[in-house]
Structure 1
């Protein structure tokens, strides 16, 4: 491997202009690819398109709608709500949105008032007198709003217009319809009342806007943090600003990453957007290692060409092994059932490879050209470039004092690390899992606050949908089966299910409870029903029906129990009927299962892949592979302990922590190990070699760790995204743990193992002599 990197170093040294020119060409191409980037917040980011749950949900949305935009009208009392101007405004919204081809139905107070008037007079005329309207809406005996109007008038201060969007709309199309509704509400002419347009499509629209601004802010903050960190902990020859060169190189690598992402069609989601600060931190880490080793070689008095070739020869394989190990750790995320977690893993791999290549080619090419020009200038002036003698800094002096203590106390360090790991792993099963999308963002986001206010007004209810497909869902046999199903649900699930609704209910209401004898009679009845009422319960060609089950907001585990029981109710439908359970709660259950079941699998696969590749790259040296993986494996337990103590839940992001921290942390152990064995090959003993390794490479490892922590720290400014904030907190702690494990556990472990091996070898030699 060293021979390959030596040849690579010689190529970069001799072809630096070509290398830089190609880097610029790729940069231009990447800028074009960046224009292809897209945001994604839909169900396809949570569920694989190959899964049965996603296919059922998609098929349901081809027939019906599950996304609802609600116009919430708030007044002082019912009299104010029913003023002529407000009634006219609500009627205008209901009528215009009802005609919109992207809307399934628009149901509000005026629709139900017309229905009530039609039942009394036979003509659906809308009265304008507030007194008459109030007499229709209010029960004269109780003085309360009648149950018929509760869906649209939940109390005397609020009116609701529920606009169900067509199920096959993209997120962008949903945003457009939501924008049309907001404009229509603004122009409707409401008087003396407040209006709010809310619902999940509105929330998702605001989330996409926040994602764009948060991503930009995170990139800016992570860049500033890198500038500060590099100023404090990374010292190289030349001007002060020269220590910021690694950051500039990595920002170019980020552009390469954006471009590749756009070309491959990897979307920006609430999970993948977290990758960019991470990539900046990791990329600066790689660039620091190359720059640090080049500077070290130059300080020894090597020529510019020798320093370039030797630094690439020595640090190139080390970082290359770390890159491969990290990429395999990230590749474990491909085994997640959650698409945006898989995209997160792919994006991390693209990012670390892009920044690594930028560091080895562009950074080293620039360093060579800069220092070569200085040499030429010095030669013209009749002199040579003078390099300052290498002087140990504060960090090196501290590491020099730390190393002997660590090496001499494995009996304290290793048992303590194991106890913390075991304690953390025991607490892991007690960590909760969060799958509610609205809990991934701040509860102070205006769109979410409006949605929560709606939930409090209208009641915390969500819906499970039973999709019924048949050649003819108007068959009386099918309708009778629906009725029996609803009766069983009402009888056996009354604790959690508030009510049910189906086309069978509407037919029986129209006939006074008598089931028609033929499909033709059913169709005649349906033809007379208002379109907004039936449209979301049966499709136009009668091939699909929707049985709606409204359930209370309870714990997801309880909803899963209800789901399992409902699945048992629909196993024997009549005739050619096919039945599927779907809806938002079902999606949440699938995500919950994916996170809880896939998380451990991803971690184990990540550990296994990293160990396997290190075993191969270390020429089948089992001990070295174990020593590289074990110290980072220990912190998986430490991480669980921290999450338990701080009550941080597992989310699509924190579920990736096991594989992620293995991929990141193993680089630190590889860097220290490789330098240790390099010193051992020079003839130093275990203790001396480790002291030298910690002193020489320790500064760069600490600088690398701090840059990675700084990258994750940028996630904390995404205050609107709680999912990013929690992830940032835990990963910053985990990277710190990785540094601690690398600088305390690994040295103690390696020297203890190596010393025992040497001792056994000496004894064996003595025994052989005797």
Structure 2
């Protein structure tokens, strides 16, 4: 009696004890569920790259305005958003923000709003005062540097549309030097034509308090931003207007995710119940399977609670994996029990369960080990989110084995015995063993008998094509592609409780990315220049870099055809325009008269620091009286490919650094994100290769120990590799990026694929012991195990497939890629693996090497 038989005997003879012990264990583990932090958070990926370290250095040592603040953008769109009516309306909206207690509590101190309307009103007040006009602001004499909102509103209200247009022309005069801290062109859509007095889009920035916190924005800031969005919808009626900010995006994305699940969950459950009903044809077995799935999820949640792991975007994928694996395990246990009954109708339920469980427990155990190893490999990742994903997945997979390898068989046995005591006979056929389904499943055995080499060659060629596609597949991440889409028209007919809303946030993000300079640091590249920054040619090198930057495609271009660049040269020139001392020093430092200082840079920096220390410290860093570093920032187009950004900015940095003693680093959030993405992909790919090796070695050992067929372990793994190649090739054809998101999905698919292949391989060797030929063994394998695999594949693929109805693109991709992976794994296991097994059997001359293990495979025909 081997270990599988001994295990099955313990479970069946001590079934009540097994149920009691495991239910008590479930209660103990499940007690941790209440400790799980269910507040969905975005998984963060830190980086220890040189670029990340330099970005941290820049953020620490350079003083910038707006620290500890976040920016909400009030975007106004219309035929002419520079008209008097539109400008006044937005000024009134700003006043409404301040009058609203929720919004006002979130506003940053000082000048918390900045828009074209403020610049125009302020310019009008100053012009009125300069001309001795009679406005309220003018009568007050010299206007304040920042007139109140009430004064701005009164000023524009008292002017005619033509007078307002004249001030707009003055503010937006392309020959006019910017007098204030805000460049008016950054507040207009890039489609605006310089010098025009009309525009179809503009933005007003609203600055809110946002102290650094690991938990994201403070609640008051979130509530204030959401209140701003509601007030804007009510207060702006003459044009289209919306508020865009992190709180609004998170709130609407979360709402879309919740409504998507509310819509698709009933559909998914209905599909799963239909497929399970067809496969089981018995409501008791369906209910037992669902109870088992629920218990596995309780074990997973309890583990997370005890381990202190909270819910993140990545961990949302784990329950889907466990549901699919649980359904698969349940089907195999129940179907093998039914097969044992059918093979010998005189067997008691206990005997049938013992035979069935002994026949499948090794395959389930091997699948559990290989899948758990695959995911637990992520535990060595330097990234916490990936570590938690791997550990939680592995723990959940082990719990699936405990529930369906011990608790479910014991519970089903007790149930069958209870029905037997009241005289209810409950013999059911195993799905796929007979009828049309059985005939379809035999296709793999048929083609394996007739043309196994052709099948393998076709699979190999298709896989090679997929592998080649993998070298060209896109690996970028577009953050906009994670935002919810508007619901299609047909969803308007969905009953009210399940009908999703419309979300404009994706369209708004695209509009902002294409039409405006994004103010957040996530849309900036940063050049950090370290070393002898007072050397005479330093600023000339920066100027050369600026020239190189003009040829780049990723920086944003303003309406005046200028890039938004802020660095030492820009700071020096801006301060010199209003300070005579700095202007004189600038002239003295410009030896060749080309406008770029090339001598006495230390004296020039000293003059700028003396005149405008705050502005100077934003681009020139000094410590202990010595100048250590310079910083230049470049606004990047929202949505620009971070890979292209990285390459272009590195080329600019090389231009500045080449042939000098300076160290120039191109960094910034887009570049750091790109490097994190590359590192994650490398980690995931390397982890997969290592996992594949471990799985192969494990299966080799299992088949060697049980059947003396060590080489079969490698054969069983081949279809898994084929399925992965097909999946990657399909992603390439569909234009789906291979990034951290889809790489994790692929790892789930590999876990399920290994499970399918192990079941077929293990069952084949078992059947080959008594079958007269490999073809006969395959026929019984595919009509037996193949039926459970088909039911499992259809059930899980259907459950994942309904995610295509979701409004969140990441959920749609999750559903599509996982469904394809399951389908490919099934096809590879029941169509390609049989041919590989036939060739393996022939190559080993009827498994002549078998016989050294506990049991020998029968000789070939």
Of 361, 370, 373, the residue aligned with 1:328 is 373
| In the alignment, structure 1 residue 428 sits paired with structure 2 residue 470 | yes
Q: Is the 8 A contact 1:642 1:730 kept in 2?
A: no
1:196 shift after superposition: 1.4
Aligned to 2:490: none
Unaligned 5+ runs, structure 2? 131-141, 193-198, 487-502, 556-562, 578-582, 587-601, 850-861
Q: Is the 8 A contact 1:65 1:104 kept in 2?
A: no
Aligned to 1:458: 516
Q: Distance in 2 between matches of 1:492 and 1:649?
A: 30
The CA deviation string for residues 15-39 of structure 1, in whole angstroms up to 9 with x for no partner, is 04523541551475154144x2332
Change in 2 beyond 3 A, CA 1:337/1:163? farther
Aligned to 1:526: 612
User: Higher mean Cα deviation, 162-171 or 220-229?
Assistant: 162-171
The CA deviation string for residues 123-169 of structure 1, in whole angstroms up to 9 with x for no partner, is 42535332465544323996999874222344534442224564724
1:480 shift after superposition: 9.2
Aligned to 1:129: 155
| In the alignment, structure 1 residue 720 sits paired with structure 2 residue 722 | no
1:340 shift after superposition: 4.8
The CA deviation string for residues 707-735 of structure 1, in whole angstroms up to 9 with x for no partner, is 231232143232322x3323422332232
Aligned to 1:139: 170
Q: Is the 8 A contact 2:525 2:667 kept in 1?
A: yes
Q: Distance in 2 between matches of 1:192 and 1:595?
A: 48
The CA deviation string for residues 548-606 of structure 1, in whole angstroms up to 9 with x for no partner, is 2123465444322223234446769999x997644332134224423654454343223
Aligned to 2:273: 227
1:509 shift after superposition: 2.1
Q: Distance in 2 between matches of 1:66 and 1:19?
A: 54
The CA deviation string for residues 290-323 of structure 1, in whole angstroms up to 9 with x for no partner, is 2222333344333333334433333222101011
Q: Is the 8 A contact 1:229 1:707 kept in 2?
A: yes
Aligned to 1:768: none
Q: Distance in 2 between matches of 1:392 and 1:101?
A: 73
The CA deviation string for residues 321-366 of structure 1, in whole angstroms up to 9 with x for no partner, is 0111122233455577776555444443233222222223332232
Aligned to 1:559: 645
Change in 2 beyond 3 A, CA 1:224/1:652? farther
SS at the partner of 1:261? helix
The CA deviation string for residues 404-451 of structure 1, in whole angstroms up to 9 with x for no partner, is 443232132111111211122122222222312112334544222222
Q: Is the 8 A contact 1:635 1:737 kept in 2?
A: yes
Counterpart mapping for 1:45-64 below 5 A: 47-54=45-52, 64=67
SS at the partner of 1:653? helix
Q: Is the 8 A contact 1:280 1:711 kept in 2?
A: no
Aligned to 1:473: none
Of 419, 438, 442, the residue aligned with 2:480 is 438
Q: Distance in 2 between matches of 1:518 and 1:98?
A: 42
Of 783, 790, 798, the residue aligned with 1:695 is 783
SS at the partner of 1:719? coil
| In the alignment, structure 1 residue 41 sits paired with structure 2 residue 10 | no
Aligned to 1:629: 717
Aligned to 1:281: 324
Q: Is the 8 A contact 1:70 1:160 kept in 2?
A: yes
Counterpart mapping for 1:281-360 below 5 A: 281-299=324-342, 300=344, 301-333=346-378, 340=385, 342-360=387-405
1:740 shift after superposition: 1.7
Q: Distance in 2 between matches of 1:389 and 1:283?
A: 21
SS at the partner of 2:764? helix
| In the alignment, structure 1 residue 394 sits paired with structure 2 residue 436 | yes
Change in 2 beyond 3 A, CA 1:104/1:216? farther
Q: Distance in 1 between matches of 2:484 and 2:266?
A: 21
TM-score for the superposition, normalised by structure 1? 0.83
Change in 2 beyond 3 A, CA 1:311/1:305? same
| In the alignment, structure 1 residue 109 sits paired with structure 2 residue 116 | yes
1:180 shift after superposition: 0.6
1:705 shift after superposition: 1.9
Q: Distance in 2 between matches of 1:573 and 1:88?
A: 56
User: Higher mean Cα deviation, 82-91 or 640-649?
Assistant: 82-91
User: Higher mean Cα deviation, 78-87 or 308-317?
Assistant: 78-87
1:184 shift after superposition: 4.4
Q: Is the 8 A contact 1:152 1:159 kept in 2?
A: yes
| In the alignment, structure 1 residue 730 sits paired with structure 2 residue 803 | no
1:227 shift after superposition: 0.8
| In the alignment, structure 1 residue 25 sits paired with structure 2 residue 90 | no
Q: Distance in 1 between matches of 2:671 and 2:392?
A: 28
Q: Distance in 2 between matches of 1:252 and 1:199?
A: 40
Q: Considering only aligned residues, what root-mean-square deviation do their CA atoms show, in Å?
A: 4.3
Q: Distance in 1 between matches of 2:470 and 2:88?
A: 60
TM-score for the superposition, normalised by structure 2? 0.75
Aligned to 2:547: 491
The CA deviation string for residues 470-500 of structure 1, in whole angstroms up to 9 with x for no partner, is 9xxxxx9679998556423322211234231
| In the alignment, structure 1 residue 417 sits paired with structure 2 residue 459 | yes
Aligned to 1:757: 844
Q: Distance in 1 between matches of 2:28 and 2:435?
A: 39
Change in 2 beyond 3 A, CA 1:448/1:425? same
| In the alignment, structure 1 residue 261 sits paired with structure 2 residue 312 | no
SS at the partner of 2:472? coil
Q: Distance in 1 between matches of 2:188 and 2:736?
A: 39
Change in 2 beyond 3 A, CA 1:586/1:174? farther
User: Higher mean Cα deviation, 315-324 or 291-300?
Assistant: 291-300
SS at the partner of 2:704? coil
| In the alignment, structure 1 residue 617 sits paired with structure 2 residue 702 | yes
Aligned to 1:646: 734
Q: Distance in 2 between matches of 1:699 and 1:152?
A: 63
Q: Is the 8 A contact 1:435 1:588 kept in 2?
A: no
Unaligned 5+ runs, structure 1? 379-383, 471-475, 763-770
Of 207, 215, 235, the residue aligned with 2:253 is 207
1:88 shift after superposition: 4.5
Aligned to 2:670: 585
SS at the partner of 1:622? coil
Between the two proteins, the alignment pairs up a number of residues equal to 739
The CA deviation string for residues 202-261 of structure 1, in whole angstroms up to 9 with x for no partner, is 3234323434444565554433322111112234xxx43433421231123123223323
Q: Is the 8 A contact 1:138 1:146 kept in 2?
A: no
Of 501, 505, 510, the residue aligned with 2:570 is 505
